[in-house]
Structure 1
Amino acid sequence: MALVGILFALAVIFVLHRLLRLHTLKDIPGPTPSNWFLGYVYDLSPKPIGTPFKEWTRTYGQTYKLRGPFGVSELVVGDPKGAAYVLNSPDFQRSYSDRVALEEFFGDGVFNAEVNQDCARQRAVLNTAFSPTNVREVAHVLFDLAERLAKEWEDELQQAGPAGILSEMTSKMQRVAIDAISQTTFSYTLSADPHIPAMIAKIADVPSNALTLIAESLVDTFPILYKVPSPMRDWTVMLRTELGKIADRIWQESGGSEGGMHSKLLDAMGKSKMITGEPMNRDTAIANMCAVIFAGYETTANILAECLYELAKKPSIQDALRTELSTLTSTENCSLTYDDLTDTAALPYLDAVTRETFRTKAVLLTITRAAVAPSTIPLAFPVKSTGATSVAVEPGQVVNVPVRDGIHADPAIWGEDVDEFKPERWLGEEEKLPEAVRMIKAPGHLLTFGDGPKTCLGRYFATAEFKIVLATVIQRFVIEDVEDVYDFYRQTSDTIKPRIRGREHEPPQLNLRVKWAEIA
């Protein structure tokens, strides 16, 4: 009972603190939550992705407010012009709760370095590891991993009949992705480790629910809550410890200079003094290893699995992609190369499928920022209730930019066919894209990798990995749908996982049928 009283008192203080320091956004429309205590979290957490944000945009427009836990207002900016401003302006940074959580779980790395000299130094170091030049140098590792996956399926198909085989795609893609990031960045095969993949899975698979999201809100005022012992915190500490052992061993074997032929991340961190003028200490290096694994492992694996699910439901798109890939290799009488896959003129349909996947299957549901100074957000679409073309916010105001179910799924931005998986929208001249799409200033007019100073460092690597694996799979195999219907849910770690409809209590899974591809 004493604990309940303490928590209630903290909640009251939290509410008063937030309500006193923030404007209520009284002129901004928004839905009334079903539960005042939980706010919009109550309406969002139990549902598959793809529902509430779309409904709210349709009803209230691109810019609206949500009542969070305890009635505190959060501003939603699903406006392309407004989102570009929020994500590029120094007036908006990661929320305090996000920074505390990232530091507590992953250490003092680039994840929680803000837009200052420290952030610039760390990003400069990591940028060298994921530069287009370095991605090209390690591309053969990605091809080898894609070949390993193809060989596994080929061996299974040799023993199977015409019906092909069933394959669970999330685990297959996770193994490819974790080895892609670990082999190329610190010359280690993480999938062969008996402990690390299991720890990562435990951290990434914590379901999102009302209680976890309320805790995320409370920590904005009471960061001490993140220091309370919990299984998730214990797993992240163990993960940092294990990764530290790996890094120490590799650095010792290499004499402290370069980690090995493909150790791009460790090489860059070892040369930090040469790049920025200051060495990177061991703890920061380990924190950055954790950051790179979480940013590049689950995200790429999940988007690959979702893409294959989409193509399984749309065999005509799969066939068109296979034809383009096969035509190129038969004409040149050679295998696909990294240059082929990154040349949009050589493989325009592959690029279109990639961009459409990044639009419709973006791993980011929302990007959250908090105002650190008074600011006025410009809008392309006026506020629905007032016609205002800007919104003024005060320091402390939380702003959510909805990505997957917001800006990427708004018919006012993309057209009435927005819900259709349609690679053809990306073919042709960029000027033919709708004007509102071109207002999205992020690379490729997509927010899949964020925008502004915190744009994903590994976007070139992730795109190359996606194209290499997808091209290898589609050129050799036909991927078919099965009877199960899948919905996709947000996890507490902000990953997105598939679950079979009607069997949501089961672990995440995505089963598809694999057959030989017949190439004319």
Structure 2
Amino acid sequence: MAPSIPTPILLLVLSSALTVGQISLLPELFPNLPIRRRFFAFAGVVSSLLAIYNLFIYPPFFSPFRKFPGPKNAMPIFGHTFASFERPAGQSFLRFMNEIPNDGIIRLQGLMNRDWLLLTDPASLSEVLVHKAYDYEKPSFIRQFLRIVLGDGLIVVEGDEHKFQRKHASPAFSFRHIKDLYPLFWSKALEMKDCVAAESKGGNEIVEINQWANKATLDIIGVAAFGRDFHSLTTSDNELAKNYEEILEPTANKAAFFTAHLFLPRWVIARLPWNLNKSLKRTTGVIKRCTAQLIQDKKALMKDQSENHVDILSILLKSNDFGDDMLGQQLLTFLAAGHETTSSAFTWVMYLLASHPTIQARLRAEIHTKLPSLSSASDPTFDLASTLESLPLLNAVCLETLRLYPTVPVSLRVANKDTSIGTHFVPKGTRAYVVPWAINRAEKYWGPNATEFIPERWIDEKTGRANNTGGAVSNYNILTFLHGPRSCIGKDFAKAELKCLVAVFCGAFEIEMADPDEVPIPYGALTVKPKNGMRLRLKAVSGW
């Protein structure tokens, strides 16, 4: 089987070989032409031949995926590249899955007719995510972009380094530890509720809820990860929080900056006269300095105090598995992944409840039945975790929202060596798309109402209790947190935090869209959030 040709290396080798061969064997040709010009002339010829081969010969005649089904509307040269840039991210992939009969893999055409694979069934997904997880890694352009802010933390590293970090960070996210954090989640949800109530003035003022969710979840991850309250809900003076919010604020300039990493190496972008390079260097420098100081402060605090420290940093310090530099990079990762994702999920829950008032009313009744007052849940003797876990509709609403609006809608993997998916050979460099947005909404797995908000999917009809499948036959039918060794380490943390936020807000407010006719547009470069924010009208519920 003829392999796909690695163009840059082959171009150099063939051009050099032809130049040397011509000089040695046919010296009478081009006697007055300098060697450098001969090399570039041969390079031009070889480039043209390679382009013809890669564009018109390899894909239909030699590609190991040539018999796989795929969409027919590929653009010349660009193929289906633009499907990766559309918003909502993953929408075209969903259409391909619903419309193209396949056995688990759909073949797409990338730039210059490169083979891309869209994984569509549990067998192919389990191969890439679980059984051969370390054969498929995040593309270098995504990793080099993330490394700017996160360093070499759990999200960025690959191979043995990832195995080490995952193994030694996992105890901080055990169920036992997360159960201890429920009171923290609840207290911050109450604080956000009070701030929003003051801004809404009894429902007379419209509230943009996403910005409040960002502040609350940033405070939560500050206390849960660092043992430090940033007080983002009430002030804007914290240096770390302020700089992190500046980095994460979505702008067209930042979207262009991310896109540039698709085509140019990091060292080239860093040397461009781009103001964002300077601002990122400044903000990331401040963040890393603040993180390093927090680690030193925590070490000193743990020496001087005998109290039980339950934050993630304390647990990692006690394990003695990480040096200060690696600790800092882990905390940067948890800071980014631990607040932006949950704030987006909470914002979409608010939208769905506002759009489904009957479900909202039922959920409020369920919450009030088990939690007759906010103060009762704040009692230290009250088992808040078990109570919230026992509320079937609360869990169902959260899980259904996470299904419809996965925080990261598209995930990309690249084969780092010749490997396989089942019995199919996969050459090194092949892209494989894992698309939660498409899998979570595929009619094949979720039925004709796959795109509808139906929390009852997650409630067992016979027992009335919550289930963890949504009625799907495989856990690979929902990919919000992925699966395997690269799955989200903080998924239980995020679910617990989300349940606390939703319980407080649905219990305390009647939620309506500021504009009943508005349909929010899912947007964002890496995570899914409403393009223009989420404007709500909130009316306080009396007696709770």
> The TM-score by the shorter chain falls in which range?
0.7 to 0.9
Maintained 8 Å contact 1:307/1:361: no
Contact 1:97 1:216 (C-alpha < 8 Å) held by counterparts: yes
Matched, 1:453 2:485: yes
Report the CA distance between 1:223 and its aligned residue: 5.5
Give the AA of the match of 1:244.
K
Structure 2 SS opposite 1:515: strand
Are residue 310 (structure 1) and residue 352 (structure 2) matched?
yes
- 2:70·2:106 contact (CA, 8 Å) conserved in 1? yes
Question: What's the offset of the Cα at 1:105?
Answer: 4.1
2:315 maps to amino acid: A
Q: Distance in 2 between matches of 1:252 and 1:422?
A: 48
**Mapped partners of 2:221, 2:375: distance in 1:** 30
1:265 aligns with 2:312: yes
* Unaligned 5+ runs, structure 2: 1-43
- In the other structure, the counterpart of 1:218 is 263
Separation in 2, partners of 1:513, 1:258: 44
Correspondence for 1:86: 128
Alignment of 1:36-47 (within 5 A): 36-43=76-83, 45-47=85-87
Cα RMSD, aligned residues only: 3.5
Q: 2:528 pairs with 493, 496, 500, which one?
A: 496
Partner of 2:177: 134
Q: Which residue of 1 aligns with 2:450?
A: 418
TM-score (norm 2): 0.77
2:534 matched to which residue of 1?
A: 510
1:425 aligned partner, one-letter code: R
Q: Is the 8 A contact 2:64 2:425 kept in 1?
A: no
Matches within 5 A, 1:292-307: 292-307=334-349
Counterpart secondary structure, 2:529: strand
Deviation at 1:495? 1.7
**How far has the Cα of 1:403 moved from its partner?**
0.5
Q: Give CA-to-partner distance per residue, 1:360-414, whole Å, 9 cap, x none.
A: 1111211211123443324xxxxxxxxxxx643222111001112x110001101
Larger Rg: 2
1:126 aligned partner, one-letter code: A
Amino acid at match of 1:152: C
| Alignment-mate amino acid for residue 306 of structure 1 | W
Q: Distance in 2 between matches of 1:69 and 1:213?
A: 18
For the residue of structure 2 that corresponds to 1:363, the secondary structure is coil
Q: Does 1:351 align with 2:392?
A: no
The residue number in structure 2 matching 1:502 is none
- SS at 2:371's partner residue? helix
* Matched residue SS, 1:31: coil
Which letter maps to 2:212?
Answer: K
Letter in 2 for 1:482: A
Output one character per residue of 1:481-511: Cα deviation in whole Å (capped at 9) or x when no partner.
232524334433x022313xxxxxxxx3210
CA distance in 1, matches of 2:255, 2:493: 34
Deviation at 1:120, TM superposition (A): 2.5
Separation (CA, whole Å) in 2 of partners of 1:354 and 1:110: 26
Say if 1:327 and 1:263 are closer, same or farther in 2 by CA, change over 3 A.
closer
1:372 alignment partner, one of 386, 409, 416: 416
| TM superposition shift of 1:206 | 4.1
TM-score if structure 1 supplies the norm length? 0.80
Q: Give, in angstroms, the shift of residue 145 of structure 1.
A: 0.9
Name the counterpart of 1:381.
none
**8 Å CA contact 1:86, 1:92 repeated in 2:** yes
Q: Does the aligned pair in 2 maintain the 1:173–1:304 contact within 8 Å?
A: yes
Partners of 1:150 and 1:519 in 2: CA distance: 15
Is structure 2 residue 139 aligned with structure 1 residue 106? Answer: no
Query: Which residue pairs with 1:180 in the alignment?
Result: 220
Larger RCO of the pair (alpha carbons < 8 Å, separation 6+): 1
The number of aligned residues is 473
How far 1:461 moved relative to its partner?
1.3
Q: Is the 8 A contact 1:199 1:235 kept in 2?
A: no
Q: Give the superposition deviation at 1:99.
A: 3.0
Cα distance in 1, alignment partners of residues 324 and 494 from structure 2: 27
Q: Deviations over 1:75-100 (max 9, x none)?
A: 11122332122111233222233333
Distance 1:457 1:121 in 2: 13
Q: What's the secondary structure of 2:107's corresponding residue?
A: strand
| Aligned 8 A contact 1:23 1:394 in 2 | no
Contact conserved, 1:340 with 1:346, CA < 8 A, in 2?
no
Distance 1:83 1:209, change over 3 A: farther
